[in-house]
């Protein structure tokens, strides 16, 4: 955790008109943390049951699960206490369903994981008492209607396991497709990755992580990000791959 003095010094550099990239390079503080401090400089207090949370048992699995949660996850309270974490996974991707179950079990080994059938999809579900502190982005309403900012400890995990985080986001709200074009009467095919999300904050978490990984991306429109350059697609194929 960074103390208040460190946070203020970093923000003072930003207020001088410097870019988040340059301040991050000089201080070693992530861009996402700097953005979060611009909204709230004080650390959020952790009280009650949240203060007892030991954090994820497997940080890499958590980075992947965080991506899945930001895309297709929700947390709902149980009437007698505790919460259910639910991740929606389409029936068409049985491999993704198993990856999701494995990630939840790795993050909270003591929590049971089960699958609830729905029309066209399943809800990979787990009950526990610490989901709200592990995913502090939970809240009422849709994610794109509220501010989504990672806690400092979450950003530290993402910085340590960026590809796992990108993989989770792509596996939830992204895809790998084959595009084609015709040039001089000849058909050419090429792969590309797409990510679609209504939340500008969640999209920014993806693109800033891709920037750090050296992946080139373009914004197809306000809600869609595309990775199409050959070298960047090759990196994505190596570390992310298509859903299965």
pLDDT value of residue 42: 72
What is the rounded CA–CA span in Å between residue 26 and residue 21? 9
pLDDT value of residue 103: 97
pTM: 0.80
Q: Which residues of the chain carry a pLDDT beneath 50?
A: 47-51
- Cα 43 to chain centroid distance, Å, stands at 21
pLDDT digits (tens, 9 = 90+) for 193-238: 999 999 999 999 999 999 999 999 999 888 999 999 999 999 999 9
What is the rounded CA–CA span in Å between residue 160 and residue 189? 35
Alpha carbon separation from 208 to 52, 158, 159, 213, 214 (Å, rounded): 31, 11, 11, 9, 10
The number of C-alpha atoms within 13 Å of 202 and in the hemisphere containing its C-beta is 28
pLDDT value of residue 45: 53
Burial code (b: 16+ CB inside 10 Å, e: under 16) for 33-57 equals bbbbbeeeeeeeeeeeeeeeeeebe
| Largest separation between any pair of C-alpha atoms in the chain | 67
pLDDT value of residue 20: 86
Alpha carbon separation from 145 to 81, 121, 191, 200 (Å, rounded): 26, 24, 32, 10
Sheet holding 218-221, edge to edge: 174-183, 186-196, 224-227, 218-221
Is residue 154 within a helix (H) or strand (E), and if so which, with residue range?
Answer: helix 152-160
pLDDT value of residue 34: 81
Alpha carbon separation from 176 to 53, 190, 195, 225, 240 (Å, rounded): 36, 11, 9, 12, 10
Burial code (b: 16+ CB inside 10 Å, e: under 16) for 176-209 equals beeeeeeeeeeeeeebbbbbebebebbbbbbbbb
Strand pairing partners for 85?
Answer: 75, 126
pLDDT value of residue 25: 87
pLDDT value of residue 43: 64
What is the rounded CA–CA span in Å between residue 196 and residue 175? 9
pLDDT value of residue 66: 98
Q: Label the pairing between strands 121-128 and 83-90.
A: antiparallel
């Amino acid at each position: 955790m960074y103390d208040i003095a460190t946070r203020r010094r970093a923000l003072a550099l930003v207020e001088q008109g410097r870019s988040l990239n340059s301040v991050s390079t000089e201080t070693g503080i992530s861009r996402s943390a700097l953005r979060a401090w611009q909204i709230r400089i004080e650390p959020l207090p952790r009280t009650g049951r949240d203060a007892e949370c030991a954090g994820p048992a497997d940080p890499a699995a958590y980075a992947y699960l965080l991506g899945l949660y930001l895309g297709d996850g929700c947390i709902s309270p149980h009437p007698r206490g505790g919460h259910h974490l639910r991740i929606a996974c389409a029936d068409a991707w049985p491999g993704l369903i198993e990856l999701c179950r494995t990630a939840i079990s790795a993050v909270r080994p003591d929590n049971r994981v089960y699958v609830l059938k729905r029309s066209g999809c399943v809800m990979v579900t787990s009950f526990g008492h610490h989901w709200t502190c592990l995913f502090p982005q939970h809240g009422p309403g849709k994610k794109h209607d509220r501010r989504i900012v990672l806690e400092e400890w979450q950003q530290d995990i993402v910085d340590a396991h960026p590809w796992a985080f990108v993989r989770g986001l792509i596996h939830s709200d992204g895809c790998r497709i084959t595009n084609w074009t015709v040039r001089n009467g000849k058909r050419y095919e090429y792969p590309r990755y797409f990510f679609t999300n209504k939340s500008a904050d969640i999209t920014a978490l993806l693109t800033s992580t891709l920037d750090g990984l050296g992946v080139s991306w373009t914004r197809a429109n306000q809600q869609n990000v595309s990775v199409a350059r050959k070298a960047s697609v090759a990196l994505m194929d190596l570390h992310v791959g298509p859903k299965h």
